[in-house]
């Protein structure tokens, strides 16, 4: 009996250690009082119901239905049906002990044609979602634009390439402030403007699929050398305009905050050479600096001004004044770290003639044939937890320690038909990923004094991952695409529940 008892205890310990990974002893209580934990999503990746209740088509509807644009030839017409199942999904957040939910509003549900008459059914849906969250004690963090531009504006005036969009976006944003601002206290104007400027208008791998690299071999239209900068410029002016509207007309009554979320890869110099150290800085200038420096200092980084020249738009004095300081917080979507080395070859610049070549830096997750970290499923996602601490310190030192929210962090597994659901739920790598990133984030806060106040997991559910379709699973919950989209908790759900409820 004694031996059986010992064996049983050992088995229990083994199971607990597998779920907890016998990892570092941290919990919610390790973080400062008021630190927010949540999950993140986007309307296009989650909602589905693309033709219901008056929603208008978007550039991503068009792009995902274009042959060869999505790896598995799928689309997001149904996605994970969050539009109909949000109550069920909110309960999953509540059961885990999450404080907040970051979601995006679909512009074309509010204005099906991008402007004009308001679609009340869309307003009703988001009112219901927000009220359901608050009823469960979960704080809404709302992203106004997560890549799903109404197709009508793309057709009308080429969307983000035309400054007219600044006014249309401002009208849409103010409508959201009016309809939801009495309950929403945290607004994110844009998600990853760097991603949709480069991927959508430079290399053409995302909607609306514009580029000119390799003599229009991959895209029918576009100008990779100019359009990403025009798009970014209009996005920045849109953000500043919307923030100004909120501060002047709504902040005193609604007491909310307005920020923006940036995708940021941390770059390590490939060598200790001056050339590679400078290349790493340029790579960061052409990624984070491109968007955050106008909002903090009123202009683009000096390296961009010198290297891009007349192709980089200018801000007027009044625009620069409106841009400067138009952030209440900085959202950071961190996933990975790359090496950066100086590009000494002129061939890449000639072949691409785009914003990537303009930086004069080659960024890769390899050095001397060795990967920078363990690989997740996505070809770009290598696991480097130290990178999040390095990045927080960089922002603190360079930009005056602004308030930061980690608005996305996570890793994916492959969606393999060869793996059973039972085995797919055993996501030890994901548990270790979050544990190690949270340990580094905690060190950045407590040891380095970085002003970080929140952490949002990407993502609550497996979902439709843009050009990767359904081939990639980022969720804490497994979604069975073959059986009515049933949700199953992975081991990471149990880990997070313990993390969030344990003292």
What is the C-alpha end-to-end distance of the chain, expressed in Å?
34
Do the Cβ atoms of 264 and 332 come closer than 8 Å? Answer: yes
Residue 428, judged by CB atoms within 10 A of its CB (0-12, 13-18, 19+), counts as middle
The string of DSSP letters for 203-222 reads: B-SSTT--B-HHHHTS-SS-
Residue 136 to residue 101: CA distance in whole angstroms? 11
Nearest CA to 60 out of 162, 220, 206, 232 is that of: 206
Alpha-carbon distances of 177 from 8, 137, 292, rounded to whole Å: 57, 21, 23
Signed CA dihedral, 343, 305, 300, 174: sign only:
negative
**DSSP labels for 432-463?**
HHHHHHHHHHHHHHHTT---EEEEEES-SB--
Q: 71 burial class (0-12, 13-18, 19+ CB within 10 angstroms)?
A: middle
Encoded tokens for 92: 């999953």
Both tokens of 375, joined, read 């690989």
> 259: closest CA among 155, 402, 396?
402
Question: Which residues belong to the active site?
Answer: 192, 408
User: Which token pair is 428?
Assistant: 């030890």
Beta strands in 222-351 (DSSP E): 257-263, 266-269, 329-333, 337-342
Cα distances (Å, whole numbers) of residue 214 to 109, 211, 348: 37, 9, 10
Contacts of 499 (CB under 8 A, 6+ apart): 26, 27, 28, 438
């Amino acid at each position: 009996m004694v031996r059986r008892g010992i064996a049983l205890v050992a088995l229990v310990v083994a199971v607990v250690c597998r779920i907890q990974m016998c990892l570092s002893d941290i919990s919610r209580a390790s973080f400062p009082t008021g630190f927010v934990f949540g999950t993140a999503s986007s309307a296009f990746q989650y909602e589905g119901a693309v033709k219901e209740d008056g929603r208008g088509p978007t550039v991503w509807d068009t792009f995902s239905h274009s042959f060869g644009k999505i790896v598995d030839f799928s689309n997001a017409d149904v996605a994970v049906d969050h539009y109909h199942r949000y109550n069920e999904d909110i309960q999953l957040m509540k059961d885990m002990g999450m404080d907040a939910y970051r979601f995006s509003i679909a512009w074309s549900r509010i204005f099906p044609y991008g402007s004009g008459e308001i679609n009340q059914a869309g307003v009703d849906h988001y009112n219901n979602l927000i009220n359901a969250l608050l009823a469960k004690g979960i704080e809404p963090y709302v992203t106004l634009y997560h890549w799903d531009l109404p197709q009508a504006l793309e057709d009308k005036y080429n969307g983000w390439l035309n400054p007219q969009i600044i006014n249309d976006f401002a009208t849409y944003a103010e409508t959201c402030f009016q309809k939801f601002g009495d309950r929403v206290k945290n607004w994110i104007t844009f998600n990853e403007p760097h991603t949709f400027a480069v991927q959508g208008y430079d290399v053409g791998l995302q909607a609306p699929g514009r580029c000119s690299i390799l003599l229009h071999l991959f895209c029918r239209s576009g100008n990779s050398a100019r359009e990403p900068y025009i798009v970014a410029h209009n996005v920045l002016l849109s953000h500043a305009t919307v923030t100004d509207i909120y501060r002047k007309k709504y902040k005193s009554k609604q007491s909310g905050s307005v920020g923006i979320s940036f995708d940021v890869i941390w770059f390590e110099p490939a060598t200790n050479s001056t050339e590679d150290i400078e290349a790493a800085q340029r790579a960061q200038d052409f990624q984070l600096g491109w968007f955050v420096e106008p909002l903090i200092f009123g202009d683009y980084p000096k390296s961009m001004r010198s290297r891009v020249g007349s192709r980089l738009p200018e801000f007027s004095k009044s625009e620069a004044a409106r841009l400067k300081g138009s952030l209440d917080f900085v959202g950071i979507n961190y996933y990975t770290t790359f090496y950066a080395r100086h590009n000494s070859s002129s061939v890449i610049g000639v072949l691409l003639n785009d914003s990537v070549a303009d930086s004069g830096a080659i960024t890769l997750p390899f050095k001397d044939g060795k990967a920078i970290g363990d690989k997740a499923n996505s070809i770009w996602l290598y696991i480097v937890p130290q990178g999040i601490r390095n990045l927080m310190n960089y922002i603190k030192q360079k930009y005056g320690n602004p308030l930061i929210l980690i608005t996305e962090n996570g890793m994916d597994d492959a969606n393999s038909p060869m793996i059973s659901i039972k085995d797919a739920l055993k996501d030890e790598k994901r548990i270790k990923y979050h544990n190690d990133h949270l340990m580094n984030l905690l060190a950045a806060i407590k040891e380095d004094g970085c002003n970080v106040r929140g952490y949002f997991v990407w993502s609550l559910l497996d979902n439709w991952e843009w050009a990767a379709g359904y081939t990639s699973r980022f969720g804490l919950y497994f979604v069975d695409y073959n059986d009515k989209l049933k949700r199953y908790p992975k081991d990471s759900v149990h880990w997070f529940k313990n993390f969030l409820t344990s003292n």
